[in-house]
C-alpha cells in the first residue's frame, strides 16, 4: 500500500504550511483564544478563499471533491499549528451530515454558504450518560402537525456558541438506546426556548451545553427520513474520527520536534541533555510512535475512500483511533517529562499541544473505547 501523497495533496499541504508559518504563530493563536469568539473570523474567510472549506465536499455539492486522504493532509498541518478555528465542527461534522442527508435547494444553499465562509454550524449529538454511544438519545422530537417540538439537553457541543444553525440529534420514537427512531433537525441558534451555555475546553477551544425547551421547528427542518439518521451520523462521526486522529499526528510530530530542540539547548552536568543516551532512546521511541500513528491514520483514510464494506471501514477507523490514543499518551508524557516543569507553563507551546492531544484522545471515543469496538466487530 502506497502511503505517499500525490502532487495535488503535496500542494494542499504546502498551502497550509505557508499559512501557518506566515500568519499562525504561537502568540497569534494565544490572542485568538482570548478573543470573545475564540476563533478568527478573518482566518475563516481566508480558509474559504483558499478553498479549504470546500475540500470535504464532492463536486456535485459545490466542493472540490476531496477524498478522506486529502482531508487528513490538511488536518495533520492544522494539528501542527494547534488551530482553533472550528473546521471539524462546521465543515466535517455538520457539513458532512448536510451533504449526506440533505437534498434539493436547501442542501445546495446551506453548503454554498458554508464553503464561502458565511455560515457557522454545530452538531449537537452528545448527552449526559451517552458516553460514546450514538444511539443513546434522550432528547425528544414530537410531531405536532407541520411543526416539531424538541426537548432535551446536549453537552460538549463544539462551536455551539458561534453557530448560526445547529444540527440537533433527537428521538422521534423508541427507547433511548434504540438504533431506530433517531432524526436530525436543523435548528436556528436564535430559536425561542433554546439556551446556550458556552465554556472553554482544556485545549482552548469553545464548547457549549445546549438546553432545548419546547423549541418549535418546521417538520421540513428534518434532514433525511424520519427516524433513520443514525447510520449517516455514524458514518460522518467515523470520518471526523480519522480527521482528528490526523490532527493528533500533526501535533505529536511538533511535540517531538520541540522536544528534540529543547534537549539540544537544556544543559545538565555541563552538557546538553540531548547527549544522554537514555533520553535519546526515549526520543527515538517518540519518533517510532509518531510514524506508526501516521501510517495507520493514512491507511484508515484510504479505506474510507475505497469500495470496501462498511464493516471493514469501521474496523480501520477504530484501529487508527486506538493506536493514535496510545501514541498520544506516550509522546505527550515523554515530551512533558523531558521538558520538565517548563513544559506545563502557558508561556511554552508544548503545554498547549499536550492539552490539545489529550482532548483529541477523548474526542469521538478514546483508545479504550475504540479497542473494545474493534474487538467486537
Does the structure show a pLDDT above 90 at 367? yes
Domain at 231-376, CATH homologous superfamily: Butyryl-CoA Dehydrogenase, subunit A, domain 3 (1.20.140.10)
340 Ramachandran zone, left/alpha/beta (phi>0; psi -120 to 50): left
* pLDDT band at 266; cut points 50, 70, 90: very high
Please tell me the distance from the alpha carbon of residue 26 to that of residue 23, in angstroms, as a whole number. 10
pLDDT digits (tens, 9 = 90+) for 41-77: 999 999 999 999 999 999 999 999 999 999 999 999 9
* pLDDT (0 to 100) of residue 4: 77
Q: Would you tell me which CATH number, out of the four given (2.40.50.140, 1.10.540.10, 3.30.300.30, 2.40.110.10), belongs to the domain 122-227?
A: 2.40.110.10
Q: Where in the chain is the domain with CATH 1.20.140.10?
A: 231-376
Q: Where in the chain is the domain with CATH 2.40.110.10?
A: 122-227
* pLDDT (0 to 100) of residue 70: 96
3-state secondary structure the chain: CCCCCCHHHHHHHHHHHHHHHHHCCHHHHHHHHHCCCCCCHHHHHHHHHHCHHHCCCCHHHCCCCCCHHHHHHHHHHHHHHCCCCCHHHHHHHHHHHHHHHCCHHHHHHHHHHHHCCCCCEEEECCCCCCCCCCCCCCCEEEEECCEEEEEEEEEEEECCCCCCEEEEEEECCCCCCCCCCEEEEEEECCCCCEEEEEEECCCCCEEEEEEEEEEEEEHHHEECCCCECHHHHHHHHHHHHHHHHHHHHHHHHHHHHHHHHHHHHCEECCEEHHHCHHHHHHHHHHHHHHHHHHHHHHHHHHHHHCCCCHHHHHHHHHHHHHHHHHHHHHHHHHHHHHHHHHHHCCCCHHHHHHHHHHHHHHCCCCHHHHHHHHHHC
User: What is the grid cell recorded at 222?
Assistant: 428534518
Q: Where in the chain is the domain with CATH 1.10.540.10?
A: 7-120
* 156: phi then psi, degrees, rounded to nearest 5: 50, 50
Which residues are registered as beta bridge partners of 218?
147
Does the structure show a pLDDT above 90 at 223? yes
* pLDDT (0 to 100) of residue 1: 60
Architecture of domain 7-120: Orthogonal Bundle (1.10)
* pLDDT (0 to 100) of residue 149: 98
pLDDT digits (tens, 9 = 90+) for 347-362: 899 999 999 999 999 9
Please tell me the distance from the alpha carbon of residue 317 to that of residue 14, in angstroms, as a whole number. 26
Average pLDDT over residues 294-307: 95
* pLDDT band at 296; cut points 50, 70, 90: very high
pLDDT digits (tens, 9 = 90+) for 101-118: 999 899 999 999 999 999
User: How deeply is 222 buried, as exposed, middle or buried, from its count of CB atoms within 10 A (0-12, 13-18, 19+)?
Assistant: buried
Which residues are registered as beta bridge partners of 152?
212
* pLDDT (0 to 100) of residue 2: 64
Whether the predicted model's global pTM rises above the 0.75 cut: yes
**Number of alpha carbons in the 13 Å side-chain half-sphere of residue 24:** 23
Average pLDDT, the chain: 95
pLDDT digits (tens, 9 = 90+) for 309-323: 999 999 999 999 999
Residue with cell 474567510: 45
Please tell me the distance from the alpha carbon of residue 327 to that of residue 66, in angstroms, as a whole number. 27
Amino acid at each position: 500500500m502506497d502511503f505517499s501523497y500525490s502532487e495535488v495533496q503535496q500542494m494542499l499541504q504546502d498551502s497550509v504550511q505557508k499559512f501557518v508559518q506566515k500568519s499562525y504563530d504561537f502568540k497569534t493563536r494565544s490572542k485568538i483564544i482570548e478573543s470573545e469568539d475564540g476563533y478568527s473570523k478573518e482566518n475563516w474567510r481566508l480558509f474559504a478563499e483558499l478553498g479549504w472549506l470546500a475540500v470535504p465536499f464532492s463536486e456535485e455539492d459545490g466542493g472540490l471533491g476531496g477524498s478522506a486522504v486529502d482531508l487528513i493532509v490538511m488536518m495533520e498541518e492544522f494539528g501542527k499549528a494547534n488551530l482553533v478555528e472550528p473546521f471539524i465542527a462546521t465543515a466535517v461534522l455538520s457539513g458532512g451530515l448536510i451533504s449526506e442527508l440533505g437534498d434539493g435547494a436547501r442542501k445546495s444553499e446551506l453548503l454554498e454558504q458554508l464553503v464561502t465562509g458565511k455560515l457557522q454550524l454545530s452538531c449537537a449529538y452528545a448527552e449526559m450518560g451517552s458516553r460514546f454511544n450514538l444511539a443513546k438519545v434522550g432528547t425528544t422530537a414530537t410531531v405536532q402537525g407541520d411543526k416539531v417540538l424538541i426537548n432535551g439537553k446536549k453537552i460538549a457541543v463544539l462551536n455551539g456558541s458561534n453557530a448560526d444553525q445547529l444540527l440537533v440529534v433527537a428521538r422521534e420514537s423508541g427507547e433511548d438506546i434504540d438504533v431506530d427512531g433517531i432524526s436530525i433537525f436543523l435548528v436556528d441558534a436564535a430559536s425561542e426556548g433554546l439556551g446556550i451555555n458556552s465554556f472553554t475546553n482544556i485545549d482552548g477551544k469553545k464548547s457549549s451545553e445546549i438546553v432545548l425547551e419546547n423549541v418549535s421547528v418546521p417538520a421540513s427542518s428534518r434532514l433525511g427520513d424520519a427516524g433513520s439518521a443514525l447510520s449517516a451520523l455514524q458514518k460522518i462521526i467515523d470520518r471526523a474520527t480519522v480527521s482528528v486522529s490526523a490532527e493528533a499526528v500533526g501535533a505529536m510530530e511538533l511535540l517531538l520536534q520541540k522536544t528534540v530542540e529543547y534537549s539540544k539547548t537544556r544543559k545538565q552536568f555541563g552538557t546538553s541533555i540531548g547527549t544522554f543516551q537514555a533520553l535519546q532512546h526515549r526520543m527515538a521511541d517518540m519518533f517510532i510512535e509518531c510514524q506508526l500513528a501516521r501510517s495507520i491514520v493514512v491507511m484508515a483514510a484510504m479505506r474510507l475512500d475505497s469500495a470496501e464494506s462498511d464493516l471493514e471501514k469501521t474496523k480501520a477507523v477504530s484501529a487508527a483511533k486506538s493506536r493514535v490514543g496510545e501514541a498520544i499518551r506516550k509522546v505527550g508524557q515523554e515530551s512533558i517529562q523531558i521538558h520538565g516543569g517548563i513544559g506545563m507553563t502557558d508561556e511554552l507551546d508544548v503545554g498547549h499541544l499536550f492539552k490539545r492531544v489529550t482532548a483529541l484522545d477523548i474526542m469521538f471515543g478514546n483508545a479504550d473505547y475504540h479497542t473494545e469496538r474493534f474487538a467486537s466487530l
